[in-house]
C-alpha cells in the first residue's frame, strides 16, 4: 500500500508540462528547468494538447535526457493532461508546470525540503512575480511555507498519492481555470494543507499558456460559475475590522472562525489600526483601517457578481468609527458578526517599595 504522506528528500521528481502552442515560451520553460534543476528531474512528460505544427516540430527537436513528448490528437484541457501525466509518473512527488514559467535558479530544492518536513503538506507553489502584490514577510509560516487555501496551478509540487487519492483534476473544467481551486477544496477536505514557498521563485507569464485559446475570458467566467455552484461558501467575502493587528492577538474563537471560512475558499480583507502583521494565510489580505477606504471598498464591490462582500466581522476592540461601516453593511444587507477582543493581561499593582501586591477582586480601581 502506498503511503500518501511519505516523500523522500533525496528522490528525483517527475515533471508534467501541459503545452498548447506558444512555442517560444514553452522552449524557454523546458530549457530553463533542465538548466537549473536538471539533476533533480526524473522523467519529464510534455503533453502537447494538439498544438500547431510549429510547436510540435520544436518539441520533437528537443534533445534532453528523460524527456517524453506526447502529441494528443485533441485538446482535452490542462486538467486532463495533468491527470494523464501524474498517472504515468513514478516518483512520490510530481512537479506540475505551466509552459509559460521560467526558472532562474534551482527552485525545486526548497519545495522538496518543505514537502518532506511535514507529512500533512500535500502541495506547494513557488513564489515569484505572481505574488508581487503580497508582502510575504507579513505572513505567518508553517515550517518554511505560508499557508494557502487555494492551489496555484501554474506551478506546484504535489504528493502523487494525495493527488490520486482525491481523484486529481475534475475534467468538467475543460480547457482550464478553477480546476486548481476545486482540487484545493478536495485536498483540504481530505486533511491536507497547501503552501506557498517564499524562497522558491519562478517567473510566470500570466495567461501566456492560453495563447491562441479562443474566448478564454468566457471560459474563465463559465468555470467560475461552475466552481461557486459546487462550493457556495467560497463565494463569501469577509471584511474583518479590529484594533489589534496580529493574528496571535485574536481570540481562539475568532481565529477558528477565520480558519474555517478560509478553508472553505472564502476571501478575507482584514483592516486593523495598523497594517496587520502575522497574517495567518494567503486568503487573508491586510490593510490599515481607514474609514473612508472601508466604506468605499464595500460600496464599489457591491456590483461584482462574485466579488461583493457578504459579511462584516467586528472585533470588540475595533475603533469607534466602525459603527459607520456597520451602518453601511446593514444597508448592503451584509451578515454581521461580532467577536470578543482578547483580554489584555493586567500586571499586578505595585507599592512604592517595589513589592508586588495583588489587588482583591472587589477593588474597582484601575
Domain ranges, residue 19: 13-230
Domain boundary residue among 230, 249, 268? 230
Q: In a structure prediction context, what are the per-residue pLDDT tens digits for the chain, which is 366 residues long?
A: 334 444 455 589 999 999 999 999 999 999 999 999 999 999 999 999 999 999 999 999 999 999 999 999 999 999 999 999 999 999 999 999 999 999 999 999 999 999 999 999 999 999 999 898 899 999 999 999 999 999 999 999 999 999 999 999 999 998 888 999 999 999 999 999 999 999 999 999 865 545 455 577 788 889 999 999 999 999 999 999 999 999 999 999 999 999 999 999 999 999 999 999 899 999 999 999 999 999 999 999 888 877 899 999 999 999 999 999 999 999 999 999 999 998 764 444 433 333 332 323 333 333
Claim to verify: residue 72 and residue 19 sit in the same structural domain = yes
Claim to verify: residue 224 and residue 243 sit in the same structural domain = no
Claim to verify: residue 39 and residue 21 sit in the same structural domain = yes
Q: Does some domain include residue 25?
A: yes
Q: Does some domain include residue 83?
A: yes
For the chain, how many structural domains are there in total?
A: 2
**271: exposed, middle or buried (Cβ count in 10 Å: 0-12, 13-18, 19+):** buried
Sign, CA torsion 88/44/178/257:
positive
Domain boundary residue among 200, 230, 260? 230
Q: Does some domain include residue 361?
A: no
Claim to verify: residue 168 and residue 281 sit in the same structural domain = no
Claim to verify: residue 193 and residue 262 sit in the same structural domain = no
| CATH classification of the domain holding 262 | 3.40.50
In this structure, what C-alpha cell is assigned to residue 297? 471598498
Q: Does some domain include residue 358?
A: no
| CATH classification of the domain holding 166 | 3.90.550.10
pLDDT computed for residue 359 by the predictor: 29
Claim to verify: residue 148 and residue 213 sit in the same structural domain = yes
Domain boundary residue among 187, 204, 230? 230
Taking the C-alpha atoms of residue 217 and residue 134, their distance in angstroms, rounded to an integer, is 24
Taking the C-alpha atoms of residue 84 and residue 65, their distance in angstroms, rounded to an integer, is 21
Claim to verify: residue 50 and residue 67 sit in the same structural domain = yes
Claim to verify: residue 237 and residue 226 sit in the same structural domain = no
pLDDT computed for residue 2 by the predictor: 38
- Measured between alpha carbons, how far is residue 63 from residues 31, 36, 53, 327 in Å? 10, 16, 18, 65
**120: exposed, middle or buried (Cβ count in 10 Å: 0-12, 13-18, 19+):** exposed
Q: Does some domain include residue 20?
A: yes
Claim to verify: residue 132 and residue 145 sit in the same structural domain = yes
Amino acid at each position: 500500500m502506498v503511503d500518501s504522506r511519505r516523500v523522500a528528500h533525496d528522490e528525483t521528481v517527475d515533471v508534467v508540462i501541459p503545452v498548447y502552442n506558444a512555442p517560444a515560451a514553452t522552449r524557454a520553460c523546458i530549457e530553463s528547468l533542465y538548466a537549473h534543476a536538471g539533476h533533480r528531474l526524473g522523467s519529464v512528460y510534455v503533453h502537447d494538447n494538439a498544438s500547431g505544427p510549429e510547436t510540435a516540430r520544436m518539441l520533437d527537436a528537443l534533445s534532453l535526457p528523460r524527456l517524453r513528448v506526447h502529441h494528443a490528437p485533441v485538446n482535452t484541457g490542462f486538467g486532463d493532461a495533468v491527470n494523464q501525466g501524474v498517472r504515468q509518473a513514478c516518483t512520490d512527488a510530481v512537479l506540475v508546470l505551466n509552459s509559460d514559467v521560467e526558472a532562474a535558479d534551482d527552485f525545486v530544492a526548497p519545495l522538496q525540503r518543505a514537502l518532506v518536513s511535514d507529512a500533512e503538506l500535500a502541495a506547494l507553489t513557488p513564489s515569484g512575480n505572481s505574488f508581487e502584490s503580497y508582502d510575504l514577510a507579513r505572513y505567518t509560516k508553517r515550517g518554511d511555507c505560508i499557508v494557502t487555501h487555494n492551489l496555484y496551478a501554474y506551478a506546484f509540487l504535489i504528493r502523487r498519492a494525495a493527488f490520486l487519492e482525491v481523484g486529481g483534476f475534475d475534467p468538467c473544467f475543460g480547457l482550464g481555470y478553477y480546476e486548481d481551486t476545486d482540487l484545493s477544496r478536495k485536498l483540504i477536505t481530505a486533511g491536507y494543507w497547501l503552501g506557498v514557498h517564499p524562497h522558491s521563485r519562478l517567473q510566470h507569464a500570466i495567461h501566456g499558456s492560453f495563447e491562441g485559446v479562443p474566448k478564454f475570458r468566457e471560459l474563465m467566467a463559465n468555470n467560475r460559475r461552475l466552481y461557486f455552484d459546487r462550493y457556495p461558501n467560497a463565494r463569501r467575502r469577509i471584511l474583518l475590522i479590529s484594533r489589534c493587528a496580529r493574528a496571535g492577538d485574536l481570540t481562539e474563537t475568532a481565529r477558528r472562525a477565520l480558519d474555517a471560512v478560509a478553508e472553505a475558499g472564502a476571501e478575507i480583507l482584514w483592516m486593523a489600526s495598523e497594517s496587520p502583521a502575522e497574517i495567518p494565510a494567503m486568503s487573508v489580505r491586510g490593510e490599515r483601517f481607514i474609514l473612508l477606504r472601508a466604506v468605499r471598498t464595500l460600496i464599489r464591490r457591491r456590483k461584482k457578481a462574485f466579488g461583493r462582500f457578504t459579511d462584516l466581522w467586528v472585533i470588540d476592540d475595533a475603533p469607534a468609527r466602525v459603527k459607520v461601516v456597520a451602518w453601511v453593511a446593514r444597508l448592503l444587507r451584509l451578515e454581521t458578526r461580532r467577536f470578543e477582543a482578547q483580554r489584555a493581561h493586567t500586571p499586578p499593582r505595585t507599592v512604592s517599595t517595589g513589592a508586588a501586591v495583588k489587588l482583591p477582586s472587589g477593588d474597582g480601581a484601575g
